[in-house]
Amino acid sequence: MFLVLDGRGDLYAQVARALRQAIEEGRLATGARLPSSRQLATDLGLSRNTVVTAYELLRAEHAIDSRQGSGNYVAVAPAPRGAAQTTQRTAAASRYSARMRRLPPLRLRPTLPQLRFDLQYGEPLVDPPLATAWRGALGRAVARCDLRYGPPAGQRELRAAISEHVARRRGIGCSADDVLVVGGAQQGLGLAARVLLDEGDAVAIEDPSYQLAEMALLAHGARLHATPVDGEGLCVSQLPAAGVPMILVTPSHQFPSGAVMSMARRRALLDYARHHDAWIVEDDYDGEFRFAGAPTPALRSLDDAGRVLYVGSFSKLLFPALRLGFIICPPGLHDDLIGAKLLADVGSPAIEQLALADLMRSGAFERHLRHATAELRRRRAALVDGLARHCARHVLVHDSGAGMHLVGWLPHWSAGDVEQLVQHALNRGLGLHSIGPHFRRSPAPAGLLLGYAGLSAKQLGAAAQLLGQCLEHARTDPLP
Amino acid sequence: MFLVLDGRGDLYAQVARALRQAIEEGRLATGARLPSSRQLATDLGLSRNTVVTAYELLRAEHAIDSRQGSGNYVAVAPAPRGAAQTTQRTAAASRYSARMRRLPPLRLRPTLPQLRFDLQYGEPLVDPPLATAWRGALGRAVARCDLRYGPPAGQRELRAAISEHVARRRGIGCSADDVLVVGGAQQGLGLAARVLLDEGDAVAIEDPSYQLAEMALLAHGARLHATPVDGEGLCVSQLPAAGVPMILVTPSHQFPSGAVMSMARRRALLDYARHHDAWIVEDDYDGEFRFAGAPTPALRSLDDAGRVLYVGSFSKLLFPALRLGFIICPPGLHDDLIGAKLLADVGSPAIEQLALADLMRSGAFERHLRHATAELRRRRAALVDGLARHCARHVLVHDSGAGMHLVGWLPHWSAGDVEQLVQHALNRGLGLHSIGPHFRRSPAPAGLLLGYAGLSAKQLGAAAQLLGQCLEHARTDPLP
């Protein structure tokens, strides 16, 4: 217990005064238990009698209550002092802060009232065996973890497991040394920006794109070159002819449009990077989940020039609350990226890294992926069926056969129409999410981002039915 | 399993060719188990017979072995392709990278051979009941954790527990809303730098200071104004007369000198900040551990002008591998700091946050702190006694009565003398750490940073004896 004595008068009175002040300032809340007189005496280096006398004084003032055999408690206390302080923002202290303040409101998920169904993208697939496996892996990891500072690039075991994983599943040849463990894909992108970009440098991003990545780049001070995406992914021919230091892409399953980058575009993009000494940041956020067609090779697996930073995440493969991801570093940037991670936060938490390595080594991770892929395939089919049955008059579904969401395009709808639809659906208990805000071009194409990982197949069927009703209500002229 | 088929000839031959390539490129290591034919057929969308035929072909070539009843394994494979790639660094891509490359080698701990005793600062106090409590808390946290994206500022429960903790132990009045959970003090400092400093801005730091903090600021592009520290802490009168945007201090227990900032200096520093609109970053890295004398109020608890960012860490209170810390945000910077955290990594891992909140709420955390304080007091006393007995002819001990290390000054020693001592001690199995590299002034005062948390009282006595022998060997002229 922290108390400063003011040195005036008797010691017991000083202790009482200090306690009274702590109560008045809200540092001791109503009902909070005071330390025992023995403990407080030890803390303050005083005799126990001094503290006993101070407590008696406060009891006499009704500032504290004593309950038989269970110590002393604060009787009445005002609101915490912190609450009374000003909450006015100061002027932005740096250009970074100024840029951040100009961004649209930063929200991960809109705060929605209780909904019957929310077609939110980014909800994890709930899988009870995974939680059980994770709990066991964490327990084992605590027992064997070195609790000191670990290597900034990540635990060796996890780096090895990740290099095997990307070799098997994404065709990437790399060693454990090339792997940098980071706190999710967002940190991976941020470290890449630190290492690659000065304030004012240009970055090519996809249009549409992932908002939180875009915001991090804008706050960093990058100038964004929004490059259109079509059915084959990024339109490489529309990249700046003069080159650009960094290109951020989601080739496996473009976010949010769902396009899978064609092999021709992949080759063209790698050629562009080689020719212009550009760095490609490949965000493979959900490339694992593929339900049909041939697997697409990661850009990193085709990259002979060492220009690709492959960023992977466990947010979609396991769950977002984990906050673990990785970069497969190109050799030329290896030391810079690890140095930036060390300076950023010394390294990611060790116990969860070991638990993840355990899960990957034991086969539980592969089992979960197989289960999740099968389950997502079922859910996706239920949503596609439901949309065909109930929404086909309005919605054009782009079926890329991958990921955890699909896009229902609404051709010829205006932004205002979509907004009304979202509001009406909300009133009926259905959470919808417009793809509009992900576009930088204006007017943005109209459509809905339909996430299917967080609802069961049955719920998705019912949600599609409800969506159909909302569409009919919002708009009567169907697709041509 | 990831394979790209080249589309030439029979399907089974394509599969075999793709597998052969994966083996040659090291994506499938020697001894690696191949997926079952059923699984691979599903993955590739082929019939099972096609895969069975491909496996037979590879077995005939001795590229894979089949073991009775347990699947197919890679027979021989070259070294992974990643290892063969160039590891040459590219030119620095940004000014950040260029600055980082100019820093001294970034190492958290020197890699030392097996030592009998290492007086390394930063080793945690090993406490088996803590590991048991942590394991239990993690298990409970998995069960109740929302596995989706959480609030970027941190889990509500943990923020509340931290605000109560700093009120009780450090005299800080704040609400849960003022608390931002971060990935350790290093991230706290980095976010502060992002929000407060443009490239080229000045920062006042203590001389001597913590190297990793200094390096992060240098990489950020800050100009460092090294301000001397004496027995009363930072010499406030030597701060730039014109003001400075940010001041980084360790007032509770100056790192590494051990000085506790006097009340007069605290008031003077707060006055300086108010007068010059400077921000104070208060790094209270081990202020909890105090063994004698009155507790010192945190700067934040004396700050009426809202100029202090209080940065706390659980690395010393629990263990460094945890990577959790917090900022008590001043109201004017609250939104900027939370925004910077969101953009940096979306938020810290949720399960460990809930486990920590559980530990703090249940009383296990307070019990650990009491145990750790008592144990550190014992260890410290053993080291101080040992130094008095064996090293008093050479070493001047500065006894600040706090923290997890003390400084043994070596008056009149040269840097070369200290280096020889460290090398000699190393040869005799004693790990010593010079305070010299923590100073920016030149010549740096000579001394040793003696960490005592990682060794038992008995070991510390023996280490002091060994140190005495090393001192006698290294240098024969004792203190005047």
Question: Distance from B416 to chain A by nearest Cα, in Å?
Answer: 29
A140/A351 Cα distance (integer angstroms): 9
Q: How far is B51 from chain A (nearest CA, A)?
A: 15
* Residues 6 or more apart whose Cβ sits within 8 Å of residue B319: A147, A148, B124, B130
Which residue in A167, A188, A134, A161 sits closest to A329, CA to CA?
Answer: A188
Rounded Cα distance, A122 and A321, in Å:
11
Q: Flag if B168 and A332 touch (Cβ within 8 Å).
A: no
* C-alpha distance from A340 to closest chain B C-alpha (Å): 8
Which structure tokens are listed for A208?
């549409």
DSSP classification of residue B290: B
Asked if pLDDT for residue B81 goes beyond 50, the answer is no
Within an 8 Å CB–CB cutoff, is residue B222 touching chain A? no
A170 in contact with B, Cβ within 8 Å: yes
Angle value at C-alpha A403, between A399 and A405, nearest 5 degrees:
70
Q: CB B295 to CB A148 under 8 A?
A: no
Chain B hits for A320, CB-CB cut-off 8 Å, are 147-149, 346
Query: Which residues of A fall within a CB distance of 8 Å from B198?
Result: 94-96
Q: Which residues of A touch B145 (CB under 8 A)?
A: 321
Residues of B in contact with A339 (CB under 8 A): 100, 103, 106, 219
B80 pLDDT exceeds 50? Answer: no
Interface check for A98 against chain B (CB to CB < 8 A): the answer is no
In b/e form, how buried is each residue of B80-115, taking b as 16+ CB within 10 angstroms?
bbbeebeeeebebbbebbebbeeeeebebeeeeeeb
B138·A351 Cβ contact <8 A:
yes
Answer yes or no: do B187 and A345 touch at CB < 8 A. Answer: yes
Q: Which residues contact A114 (CB under 8 A, 6 or more apart)?
A: A429
Closest residue of A to B152, CA-based?
Answer: A108
Starting at the edge strand found earlier in the chain, the sheet holding A279-283 runs: A179-182, A325-328, A308-313, A279-283, A246-249, A202-207, A223-230, A233-234
All residues of chain A having their beta carbon less than 8 Å from the beta carbon of residue B285 are: none
- Cβ atoms of B147 and A319 within 8 Å: the answer is yes
Distance from CA of B15 to the nearest CA of A (A): 12
Query: How many CB pairs lie under 8 A apart between chains A and B?
Result: 358
**Residue labelled with tokens 């992974």:** B80
**Kind and range of the H or E run holding B73:** strand B72-74
Q: Which amino acid is at A173?
A: G
- Yes or no, beta carbons of B186 and A344 under 8 Å apart: yes
Query: Could you tell me if B388 lies within 8 Å of chain A, comparing CB atoms?
Result: no
Q: Check B183 against A25: CB less than 8 A apart.
A: no
Give B162-184 pLDDT, tens digit per residue. 999 999 888 999 999 999 999 99
Query: How many other CB atoms sit within 10 Å of the CB of residue B409?
Result: 18
Q: Hey, are the CB atoms on A108 and B199 less than 8 Å from each other? A: no
Within 8 A of B139 by CB-CB distance, chain A residues are: 135, 138-139
**pLDDT at position B86 over 60:** no
Quickly list DSSP for B196-220. Answer: H--TT-EEEEEES--HHHHHHHHHH
Question: Can you list the pairs that A101-108 forms with residues at least 24 positions away whose Cβ atoms lie under 8 Å?
Answer: A101/B336, A103/A215, A103/A218, A103/A219, A103/B339, A104/A211, A104/A215, A104/A437, A106/A212, A106/A215, A106/B152, A106/B339, A106/B342, A106/B343, A108/A212, A108/B149, A108/B152, A108/B342, A108/B346
Average pLDDT over residues B462-480: 83
Rounded Cα distance between B356 and B318, Å, is 10
Rounded to 5°, the CA angle B264-B266-B271 comes to 95
- Closest by Cβ to A173, choosing from B82, B320, B333: B82
Long-range contacts of A421-428 (CB under 8 A, 24+ apart): A421/A470, A421/A471, A421/A474, A421/A475, A424/A470, A424/A473, A424/A474, A425/A466, A425/A467, A425/A470, A426/A112, A426/A113, A426/A115, A428/A116, A428/A466, A428/A469, A428/A470
The answer to whether A4 and B295 have CB atoms below 8 angstroms apart is yes
In a mutagenesis test of the A interface, which of B343, B367, B377, B404 is the best target, namely the one with the most A β-carbons within 10 Å? B343
A276, burial (CB in 10 Å: exposed 0-12, middle 13-18, buried 19+): middle
Q: Per-residue pLDDT tens for B117-151? A: 999 887 888 888 999 999 999 999 999 999 888 99
Going residue by residue through chain A, which has 480 residues, state the pLDDT in tens, using 9 for 90 and above: 777 777 777 788 788 888 888 877 777 877 788 888 888 888 788 888 888 888 887 877 777 887 766 788 887 644 444 444 445 778 899 999 999 988 877 555 555 667 899 998 878 888 889 999 999 999 999 999 998 889 999 999 999 999 999 998 889 999 999 999 999 999 999 999 999 999 999 999 999 999 999 999 999 999 999 999 999 999 999 999 999 999 999 999 999 999 999 999 999 999 999 999 999 999 998 878 888 766 778 999 999 999 999 999 999 999 999 999 999 999 999 999 999 999 999 999 999 999 999 999 999 999 999 999 999 999 999 999 999 999 999 999 987 788 899 999 999 899 999 999 999 999 999 999 999 999 999 899 999 999 999 999 999 999 999 999 999 988 655 555
Asked if B453 contacts B379 with a C-beta cutoff of 8 angstroms, the reply is: yes
Q: Note whether B321 and B291 are within 8 A (CB).
A: no
Q: Average per-residue pLDDT in chain B?
A: 89
Residue B79 CB neighbour total at 10 angstroms = 11
* Nearest chain A Cα distance for residue B390, angstroms: 29
Interface of B with A in 9-28 (CB under 8 A): 22, 25-28
Whether residue A401 lies within 8 A of chain B, CB to CB, comes out as no
pLDDT number for residue B76: 60
Of B369, B314, B320, nearest to B124 (Cα)? B320
Tokens representing A305?
């020039």
Q: Identify the band that residue B112 occupies on the pLDDT scale cut at 50, 70 and 90.
A: low
Closest in B45, B175, B349 to A352, CB measured: B349
Half-sphere CA count of A351, side-chain side, radius 13 A: 27
Question: B90 and A333 in contact by Cβ < 8 A?
Answer: yes
Residues from chain A that touch B324, judged by Cβ atoms under 8 A, are 349
Mutate to test the interface with B, among A97, A201, A261 (most CBs of B within 10 A): A97
* pLDDT tens sequence across B318-347: 999 999 999 999 999 999 999 999 999 999
Chain B from 306 to 365: CB within 8 A of any A CB: 306, 315, 319-324, 331-336, 339-340, 342-352
In sequence order, what are the beta bridge partners of A447?
A: A409
Which residue in B11, B15, B148 has the most chain A C-beta atoms within 10 A of its own C-beta, making it the best mutation to test that interface? B148
Packing angle of the helix pair B415-427, B457-474 (nearest 10 deg)? 120
- Residues 6 or more apart from A277 whose CB is under 8 A from it? A243, A307
Q: Is B135 helix (H, G, I), strand (E, B) or coil?
A: helix
B302 in contact with chain A, both atoms CB, cutoff 8 A: no
pLDDT tier at B69 (50, 70, 90 boundaries)? low
* Shortest Cα distance, chain A CAs vs residue B291, angstroms: 9
Are A343 and B190 an interchain contact pair (Cβ–Cβ within 8 Å)? yes
Q: Given A123, A321, A344, which is nearest B351 (Cβ)?
A: A321
Nearest CA in chain B to A194: B96
- Residues of A whose CB is below 8 A from B28: 167-168
- Name the minimum distance, in Å, from the CA of B302 to any CA of chain A: 11
- pLDDT at residue A70 in the model: 74
Determine the residue of chain A that is closest to B189 in CA distance.
A344
Q: Please give the residue of chain B at the shortest CA–CA distance from A200.
A: B94
pLDDT at B480 over 60: no
Strand partners, A407: A398, A449
Q: Which residues of B touch A1 (CB under 8 A)?
A: 168-169
Report residue B102 as tokens.
Answer: 């100019």
Contact B1 A168 (CB under 8 A): yes
